[in-house]
Amino acid sequence: MTPHSRFLSSVVLVFISLWCAGAATAQHYQPFVDPCEFDWDFQLFKPELCDTCDVAPPSVGWFFTYDRLYWNVTRPIASGSPWDGDFTWGNRMDIGYMTEEDTGWLFGALHLDGPQEDDVNRANLSGVELNKTWRLPRFHNGAVLEPLLGVRYLKFEDYTSPSNPTENNILGGQFGGRYFNRRGRWLLSSELRFFLAENFQFLTGEDEHEFVPAGELRLQAAFNFTNKVALRVGWDLLYLGKGIARANPVATGINDEDVTVTGVGFGFTVNR
C-alpha cells in the first residue's frame, strides 16, 4: 500500500470512528440503520483478487458513487428548433447501503447548471431522490437484480432572462431497478426508473400544475482497480413527458412541453 493510500484509509477510519463514537454517546434516533451496524473494511486500496471476481458475492454495507456529467438539454418550442439541444456540465452522487438481509436505502442527488447558450436556451435542473431497495437472488448467469421503490423531486428552471425563471417543481413516486453483472474486473450495469409526478409550475403572473410521466435509463461500465474502488463511464437518458413549462417569450401560455436530457458521465464508486 502506498503512503497516499494509507493516508486516505486513515482519514476514512478516523471519520467513521468519530461518527460511531458520537452515535454511541448521544443515543439519538436512527431512522434507517446505525452507521456502526456494518463491519467496516477500511482496506479501500487492497488489490483485487480476480480469480474470484466472477463468483464474489455482491457488496454489503455503505456505498458511494460520484459522476461528472456532460448532458444535452433540448430547447423549447419557441426557440424554433425543439429537436436541437445545448450541452452543459453537471454532477450526480448516490449514497446508501445494502444489508446482509438483501435490503437497504439509496439517496441520490443531481444538479445541472446551464446550458447558457443564450437567453432563450438557458435552463437549470436539480433534484433528489430517496428509494427503498431490495436484492433478489443471483440469476443462473451470475447477474443480480435490485428493485427499488421511492420518491423523487426535480426542479427544472427555464429562463428568458436571469431574473425571470419559469419554475417546474416536479414531485412524485418512482419505481424501477438496477441490473448488474460482474465479469473479471468489469462490472456492467443498467438502471431503469419510471417516475409519475405532479408538476407545480410558477410562471410569470400565474401558478399552474400538470401531470408529468417520466423515465430514466442509465447504462454504465465500471473497472475495479482495487477491492473497493472502481472507475466508471456511462450514458444516461432522462425524459420528462408532456407537462413541463418552458420560458417561451413568443408562445406564452404553453406549459405542457416535454424535455429530453441525455449524455455521458464518468466518475468512481466505492463498495458498489
CATH value at residue 250: 2.40.128.90
Same domain, residue pair 12 and 54: no
Same domain, residue pair 41 and 76: no
Write down the residue that cell numbers 502506498 correspond to.
Answer: 2
Residue-wise pLDDT tens digits, 130-158: 999 999 999 988 899 999 999 999 999 88
Same domain, residue pair 71 and 84: yes
Q: Which is more confidently placed, 30 or 205?
A: 205
Q: Is the pLDDT of residue 120 over 90?
A: no
* Amino acid 113: pLDDT: 83
Same domain, residue pair 40 and 160: no
Q: Is the pLDDT of residue 256 over 60?
A: yes
Tally of domains within the chain: 2
Same domain, residue pair 8 and 64: no
- Confidence band of 8 (pLDDT split at 50, 70, 90): very low
Quick count: other Cβ atoms within 10 Å of Cβ 83?
7
Same domain, residue pair 118 and 20: no
Q: Which is more confidently placed, 3 or 13?
A: 13
Same domain, residue pair 23 and 62: no
Among 30, 45, 60, the domain-final residue is 45
Alpha carbons within 13 angstroms on the beta-carbon side of residue 30 total: 13
pLDDT averaged over the chain? 81
- Confidence band of 18 (pLDDT split at 50, 70, 90): very low
Among 12, 30, 45, the domain-final residue is 45
- pTM here is 0.79
* Structural domain for 27, as ranges: 1-45
Highest-confidence segment of 22-31, 35-44, 199-208 = 199-208
Quick count: other Cβ atoms within 10 Å of Cβ 150?
19
Same domain, residue pair 59 and 35: no
Gyration radius from the chain CA atoms: 21
Same domain, residue pair 54 and 79: yes
Residue-wise pLDDT tens digits, 65-103: 999 999 999 888 777 666 678 889 999 999 999 998 999
Q: Which of 78, 164, 89, 154 is nearest to 121 (CA)?
A: 78
* Amino acid 4: pLDDT: 42
* Amino acid 57: pLDDT: 80
* Amino acid 93: pLDDT: 96
Q: Which of 43, 45, 46, 38 is nearest to 19 (CA)?
A: 38
Same domain, residue pair 10 and 119: no
Same domain, residue pair 23 and 107: no
Same domain, residue pair 83 and 197: yes
Q: Is the pLDDT of residue 123 over 80?
A: yes
Residue-wise pLDDT tens digits, 162-216: 666 788 999 999 999 999 998 888 999 999 999 999 999 987 667 888 999 999 9
